[in-house]
Chains A and B, each alone.
Chain A
Amino acid sequence: MKSHPASPTGIGLRQPHYARVLEERPHIGFVEVHSENFFHDGGAALRTLERARGCYPVSLHGVGLALASVDARSEAHVERLAKLVERVEPEFVSEHLCWGAVDGVHFNDLLPFPYTGEALALVAARVNALQDRLRRPVLIENLSAYVQFRDAQMSEAQFLADLVCLTGCGLLLDLNNLYVNARNFGSDPMDALEQLPMHAVREIHLAGHAVTEYGLIDTHGSAVCDDVWSLLAAVRRRGVCAPALIEWDTDLPELDVLLAEAARADRIGAVADESNGDRHVCAA
C-alpha cells in the first residue's frame, strides 16, 4: 500500500476567466461554478460550462437551496438542479448549511440559524430528499456566520457531524469560514476541526476575507491568509486528501493569481502527505 498527495486543487470558474481557461486549459484539478447560474434551457453560459466539462471535472456549488428554511418552497429549485446534474455529470454537488427564505420571500443569502434538534431533523430530511432525487450524495458546507443564537443546543461542527451520520452526506470543509467564525466568536478553529468528521470531507474551500469594524467578513475577494494555509496543512496532517478549491468571487484578479493560489495549495497537500509519520492511505 502506498500513499499519495492530495487530489489536485481546483478553481472557481467565473465569467471573466471563461475564455482563458477554455483556450489555455491550465493544469488544475477541477472547476467549480454556482449551480444557479446554469439553471437555463440553453444559451452561452450553459455552452461554456459544457465545454469546460469536456476539459475538467466540474463541481456544482449551490447557493440557493436554503436547506434549513422551514418554509422553503424549493421543489422547483431541486428539479432545476436535478436537470443540470443530469446534463453536466458533476464530480461534486454541494450546498450550504444555511437558511434563506420564509413566507415566500427569498433573501438570496446564506443565513445562519440556531443549531437545535428541530433544525437537525429538518435539514437531515431535506438532505435525504435531495440525495434521493439526485441519486447521489451531496456535500454540505460549513457556514461563515456573523451572529450566534442563544438557543443553540450544539456547535455547528456537532450539527454537521450528526448530519453526516443521519444522511451519509459528505462535507465541503470551508477553512476560511471556519477561521472567520473562530476569530469572530473568539474560539480556536482547531476545536471545530476536532469535532468535524474528517473522514466525510470530500472537498475543501480556500478563500480570502475582509477585516471590518464588525470583525472578519467572508468576502471571497482576496488571497488566502497565512492562518488558513496553516489550517489546510493541519487538515492534510489528519490524512484528508480531498481536493481544495480556490474560491474568489469579488474583486476577481487575473487568472494567474488564482492558479498561483491553487499551486500553493497543491504544494501544501504534497508536503503534508510526505511529512506525515502516520501515513493515511487515500482511496484512488
Chain B
Amino acid sequence: MSALLDAQRRFAGALRSAQGEPAMLPLLAGDTERNRGLLGVYRGTAVANANAALTLAYPVCRQITGDDYFDALARRYWALAPSTDGDLNRYGHSFADFLDRFEPVRALPYLPDVARLEWSVHVATTAADAAPLGGEAFAALDPDALAAARLHMTPGFALLGSAWPIADIWLQHQPNAAGGLGDALDIDLGQAQYAVVWRDGLRVRVAALSAGAHAFWAAIALVGASFGDAWAGAAGTEQDFNLAAAIEQAITCGWLHHIKTRGQEQ
C-alpha cells in the first residue's frame, strides 16, 4: 500500500478516536507524550469544526437544547456521521434522522422535525436567486389551459409536515420574535402543523400552512401534478380549501417561478 495512504489512514484513526493514537504515534518524530497531546489538539479541532458547522445550520435546535447539550449531540453525531465533503456548509443533512434514532432526545420529541425545518432553511439560504412569477401569468390562461398547467416553484421552496407545531416553534426562536429569546413558548405543543419555507429576495421565510394548502402545493411541487389535479386533491383534503387565497399567497410571497402549459411540457 502507498506509504502516504497508510499514514493518512493512521492519522484518521487517531482523529476519530484516542484509541487510534497507538497506531499513529510511531510515525511521528519527537517526543511521544507531546505528540499524543498534539493529536488530541487535532482531534479537538476536527470535532469543533463540525460542531461550528452544525451550529450554523441548526441555531434553533441549539437554543432549544442549550449549548452544552447541543455540543454533546454534535460530538455524538460526528462520531456516527462525520463530514464527507470539503465544504463544511454541506455537513449535517442527516442530523434530523440521527435525532430520530437518538434515545435521549425523546424528551424533546419535536426536535427532529425542527431540525428538518432548519435544514430546509439552511438549503434555501444559498439557493439560486430567481425572479418570482407575477399574477398576470394566470390572467393570460383560459380555464382549461390553467387546469392542465404545471407550476414550478422558486429555488429554496420547501414543504414539511409534522405532528408538532414546527413553524410556530421556529418563528418563536427567531431574534425578532414577539416573545423574545428565552421566553417560555406560547405554543400549543399538541398541535400538528404543516410548514412552508421560501426565499423572499435574499431572506428566508417560514410560515404555517393549512392541510389543504399543503396538499395543494405538495402535489404541485413534489409530485409534479397539474393545477387541476392538485386542486381536486386539496379540496378532498380540506373541505374549506380556498384556491384563490392559496394562489394569492403564492404570488405575494414569490413562491412561483414559472408556469408550463400543456404545449410546453416535455
Contacts and interface: CB of A to CB of B under 8 A. Distances in A.
Contacts, number: 141
B228 interface: no
Q: Quick one: which of B7, B35, B87, B91 has the most chain A CB within 10 A?
A: B87
A177 interface: no
Contact of A108 (B88, B127, B155, B202): B88
A82 to B, nearest CB: 14
Contacts of B202: 43-44, 47
A155 B144 CA distance: 75
Interface in A94-112: 99-109, 111
Nearest to A73: B84
A146 interface: yes
Contacts of A114: 3-4, 7, 27
A64 B88 contact: yes
Interface size class for chain B?
A: 35 or more
B8 A39 contact: no
Given A114-B7, A118-B3, A119-B4, A146 B38 contact: yes
A72 to B, nearest CB: 8
A192 interface: no
A69 interface: yes
A109 B46 CA distance: 6
A105 B82 contact: yes
Contacts of B85: 64, 77, 106
Contact of B2 (A41, A43, A70, A149): A70
Q: Quick one: which of B15, B28, B85, B129 has the most chain A CB within 10 A?
A: B85
Nearest to A68: B4
B39 interface: yes
A71 B130 CA distance: 37
A114 to B, nearest CB: 6
A180 B227 CA distance: 64
Interface string A3-43: 00000000000000000000000000000000011011111
Interface in A29-84: 36-37, 39-47, 63-66, 68-71, 74, 77, 80
Nearest to A217: B41
A3 B56 CA distance: 47
B263 interface: no
Contacts of A111: 11, 42
B141 to A, nearest CB: 28
B190 interface: no
Nearest to A39: B87
Contact of A102 (B5, B26, B53): B5
A36 to B, nearest CB: 4
Contacts of B127: 40-43
Interface string A204-239: 000000001110010000000000000000000000
Interface string A114-139: 10101100100000000000000000
B66 interface: no
Contacts of A2: none
B34 interface: yes
Nearest to A77: B86
B55 interface: no
A148 interface: yes
Contacts of B83: 105-108
A42 B128 contact: yes
Contact of B91 (A108, A185, A217): A108
B89 interface: yes
A260 interface: no
Contact of B5 (A47, A70, A104, A107): A70
B8 A41 contact: no
13 contacts: A39-B89, A41-B127, A43-B126, A44-B125, A66-B86, A71-B5, A74-B86, A102-B11, A104-B84, A106-B82, A108-B83, A116-B4, A148-B29
Given A39-B89, A77-B85, A147-B39, 8 more contacts: A36-B87, A43-B125, A44-B203, A68-B4, A106-B82, A108-B46, A108-B49, A118-B2
